[in-house]
Amino acid sequence: MDFASNYSEERLSSQVLTKQASALEAWVRLLRGHASATRELSAQLVADHGLTINDYECLLHLSRAEEGRMRRVDLAEQLLLTASGVTRLLDGLERAGFVERASCASDRRVTYAVLTAAGREKLGEASESHIAGVHTFFEERFTSEELLQLASLLERLPEAGGPSAADCSP
């Protein structure tokens, strides 16, 4: 092997290692940034409205769903929770009067989470301050141009929670 080909192989190997290290660093920073944002925004929601970030996200998903209701399995998928995790979440929201459970008339195995009027009202109260909190969290760290660039870069990542399964009639 001559010097040129050996040098090229070493350089290529170094570039691969650098790309792997960069990917790992990006992954760690993404996880830490997500954890930091979630912790800060959740603490604000709890202090101001008595809702965790998961409570808020659940109410938000239900508010966007047709008739304010979703199958529990679809809700779990959208919230990135296990079946037992979404059950615990819904238990608390149901006790607070923000969510009700409804059965499916055509399939007894299916249950729905249904947003109540109180849940919709609570979401409305919490949304204004939560959106302001999100804005502040990012505004303190990034310029408007950087936020556009960040949003553009993150668009390349696949979204979790694919399309919802077929619905059954209530």
160 lies in some domain: no
Quickly count: other Cβ atoms within 10 Å of residue 116's Cβ. 18
Q: How many domains does the chain have?
A: 1
Inform me whether the pLDDT recorded for 165 exceeds 50: no
**For residue 167, what pLDDT is reported?**
38
Residue 21 in domain? no
Q: How much of the chain exceeds pLDDT 90, in percent?
A: 68
pLDDT, position 11: 62
- Residue 163: its pLDDT value, please? 39
Whether residue 168 is contained in a domain is answered as no
Residues 12-26: what's their mean pLDDT?
77
The pLDDT value recorded for residue 16 is 65
CA atoms within 13 A on the CB side of 28: 6
Q: Within a domain: residue 102?
A: yes
Mean pLDDT value across residues 141-154: 93
Containing structural domain, residue 93: 51-154
How far apart are alpha carbons 113 and 51 in whole angstroms?
17
Write the CATH number for 135: 1.10.10.10
Residue 167 domain-assigned (yes or no): no
Phi, psi of 104 (to 5 degrees): -90, 125
Q: Tell me the average pLDDT across 113-142.
A: 95
Structure confidence by residue, pLDDT tens digits, 41-95:
999 999 999 999 999 999 999 999 999 999 999 999 999 999 999 999 999 999 9
Decide if pLDDT at 4 tops 90: no
Per-residue pLDDT at 164: 35
The two tokens of residue 13 are 């190997």
Tell me if 138 is assigned to some domain. yes
What pLDDT, on a 0 to 100 scale, did the predictor assign at position 170?
Answer: 37
- What digits encode the pLDDT tens for the residues 130-147? 999 999 999 999 999 999
Residue 116 lies in a domain: yes
Say whether pLDDT at 22 is over 50: yes
Q: How far apart are CA 100 and CA 46, in angstroms?
A: 21
